[in-house]
């Protein structure tokens, strides 16, 4: 006697242990490989961004060193002009002739040079600018503004980010 089911797809089939083959089907393998490929692509894109930006700290450090170097050069100059004993006379045209802090006001260069005028081609992606001004009243407590100059050195690097150092030169 045969039993006919009305819905044959809903019946439970028992597989013979000998005819059932364990493993993955081709569709499952293709899907697994696709998912692994997507995961690897995501990891590689994150890794590529990390590698691409790995030199950024070095460039920022170079900009900081350039700014510190120029700031030290400026602050080693006297507050007053040595020849006329005035605070801010007109500045000479060449950086090699700068002899007081105010001479650096408005100095800007797209090539990095030392005080002697030697340019460094290895630092071609950097630009530098200097602003010297009287400090604002009360900026450093009770120090009179006539006896205090504020020096701001800004270095722009190839990443278009700025390193800005601010310092003060006092008349003493």
- Which residue blocks in 76-157 are alpha helix, DSSP H? none
Q: How far apart are CA 155 and CA 67, in angstroms?
A: 6
- Specify the pTM: 0.68
Identify the bridge partners of residue 119 per DSSP, sorted by sequence position: 113
CA separation for the pair 157, 126 (Å, rounded): 4
* Three-state secondary-structure class, residue 134: strand
Q: pLDDT tens, 103-144?
A: 999 999 998 888 888 888 888 889 999 999 887 766 777 777
Question: What integer is the mean pLDDT of 86-96?
Answer: 80
């Amino acid at each position: 006697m045969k039993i006919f089911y009305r819905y044959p797809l809903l019946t439970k089939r028992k597989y013979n242990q000998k005819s059932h083959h364990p493993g993955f089907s081709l569709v499952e393998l293709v899907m697994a490989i696709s998912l692994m490929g997507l995961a690897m692509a995501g990891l590689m894109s994150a890794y590529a961004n990390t590698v691409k930006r790995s030199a950024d700290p070095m460039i920022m450090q170079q900009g900081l060193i350039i700014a510190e170097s120029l700031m030290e050069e400026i602050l080693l100059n006297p507050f007053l002009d040595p020849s006329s004993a005035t605070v801010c006379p007109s500045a000479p045209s060449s950086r090699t002739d700068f002899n007081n802090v105010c001479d650096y006001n408005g100095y800007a260069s797209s090539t990095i040079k030392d005080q002697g005028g030697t340019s460094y081609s290895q630092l071609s992606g950097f630009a530098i600018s200097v602003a010297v001004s009287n400090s604002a009243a009360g900026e450093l407590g009770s120090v009179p503004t006539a006896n205090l100059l504020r020096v701001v050195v800004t270095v722009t690097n190839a990443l278009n980010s700025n390193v800005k150092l601010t310092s003060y030169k006092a008349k003493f």
